[in-house]
Amino acid sequence: MKKIIGLILGVLLFLQVVPVYAEKPQISATSAIVIDAESGQILYEKNKDQKVFPASTTKVMTVYLSSRALNPDDITVGTKTAIDSVPKDSTNIAIDYGEELTAEQAMYAAMLMSANDACNVLAEKVSGSIDEFVKLMNTTAQSFGAENTKFANSNGLPDENHYTTAHDMAKITRNLVLEPKFMTYFTAYDYQIPPTNKNDEPRNFVHKHRMTWLDKYEYLGVTGGKTGYTKVARHTAVTYSEKDGKKLVSAVFGAEDLGVLYQENEAILKYAYTHFTPVTINSAEIAEKVKGEKKQGNYKFAPTGCVKLYLPEGIQTQDLEYTMEIFKNDTARVLITDANGNVLGKISTERSEIVPKFIRFLLNLVKWVLIIICSLLVIRFIVVSHFKRRRRKARLKRRREEIMKQEEMLKK
């Protein structure tokens, strides 16, 4: 009986010590992620760093760069290279050679209709050629921390050298939603292009990402997104939502059909909204608990400011661990982890000198004075030794000459 009671008490103690996490949604998509749009904290992930093909989610980068570089009324022109590089059976708005569209019209066509030809005319307008625009896309992705992403075209058409990861696309989207001009297109419901110089009929579009406008998803606060599909990539999506003060970005890749895409995107967003509690931790709370070396060279580091985190169910602030990371360039940060080592966030540090500059200057001055004095003493020793040797040689020479003279006199 005592053994049974002991076992029960042991289990209860274990449950008190080890945090219990809410069960994560099990999804069939190849990879997926949900991050906090403000901090980048990962709230859900499956194969977040696995290489995937983005398909038309690529277009968020094209529209973002175009919205920054172009005025809405700038004129784009359908060229042979922009049009002929798009397969006729892929999504397009049938831009004609020489057809003029405003940048605004082309951006709405790219975002809402997912028009591949519209992406190409935008690329040529921004950078002069599609190849140069692709270089800009890759440079921008790198600046957002998307280190495992490579773009080979402006629209996401299949290419072995055109790939990304769920985490990278979430990082990219997180940065894009900070740009109001981009959000104009990302969050639009519909748009109409009036007749142009080459087309007598208006073109009407409705946003293809249904979670942005279907009533059943309204409770998630979805305001923007972009879907994509190719046979290789299967169904993909990036999504932005705001609810109860939270701002989330999700990315889903490799869903087998649209129904699965929306169902699993809904599941992971719902999980992120319902199983995490926002907390704000200031540096004073962290300072006393930081592990690791806090000094390097003549600098010491201390956490500064505050950090907003989303804590999983079962985790309290007292369960968190804080570890100082110091880098070779004399900068540092504090990693915030749970008991299992999962990184929940980071907080910046302030650097201060261990020895004040004035004292260091005096110490350096004394050091150099001592070096100079020692150098002078060494030089003096060498010079004096040299002259002593010369005088000794001279005395020996004179002594030998005297001895030789004495010997000659004796011989006489």
pLDDT in tens, 177-234: 999 999 999 999 999 999 999 999 999 999 999 999 999 999 999 999 999 999 999 9
- In this structure, of 15-24, 52-61, 178-187, 319-328, the range with the lowest mean pLDDT score is 15-24
**CATH assignment of 31-274?**
3.40.710.10
256-307 residue pLDDT tens: 999 999 999 999 999 999 999 888 888 777 777 777 666 666 777 777 777 8
For residue 12, the model assigns a pLDDT of 44
For residue 9, the model assigns a pLDDT of 45
Q: How far apart, in whole angstroms, are the C-alpha atoms of residue 162 and residue 28?
A: 23
For residue 13, the model assigns a pLDDT of 42
More confident residue, 72 or 387: 72
Confidence of residue 15 (pLDDT cuts 50, 70, 90): very low
32 CB contacts (<8 Å, ≥6 apart)?
A: 44, 45, 46, 47, 48, 166, 250, 251, 252, 253, 264, 265, 268
305 CB contacts (<8 Å, ≥6 apart)?
A: 282, 283, 347, 348
Calculate the CA 141 to chain-centre distance. 9
- Stretch 9-34: mean pLDDT: 69
Residue 115's alpha-carbon distances to 57, 110, 123, 125, 377, in angstroms, are 12, 5, 13, 16, 82
Confidence of residue 16 (pLDDT cuts 50, 70, 90): very low
Calculate the CA 14 to chain-centre distance. 37
Q: How far apart, in whole angstroms, are the C-alpha atoms of residue 264 and residue 100?
A: 40
Whether the per-residue pLDDT at 158 is higher than 60: the answer is: yes
3-state secondary structure of 58: helix
Cβ-in-10-Å burial (0-12, 13-18, 19+) of 408 comes to exposed
3-state secondary structure of 118: helix
Relative to beta strand 276-282, strand 306-312 is: antiparallel
For residue 302, the model assigns a pLDDT of 74
Calculate the CA 10 to chain-centre distance. 43
Q: What is the per-residue DSSP string for 367-403?
A: HHHHHHHHHHHHHHHHHHHHHHHHHHHHHHHHHHHHH
State the pTM of this model: 0.78
Confidence of residue 412 (pLDDT cuts 50, 70, 90): low
Domain spans, the chain: 31-274, 278-353
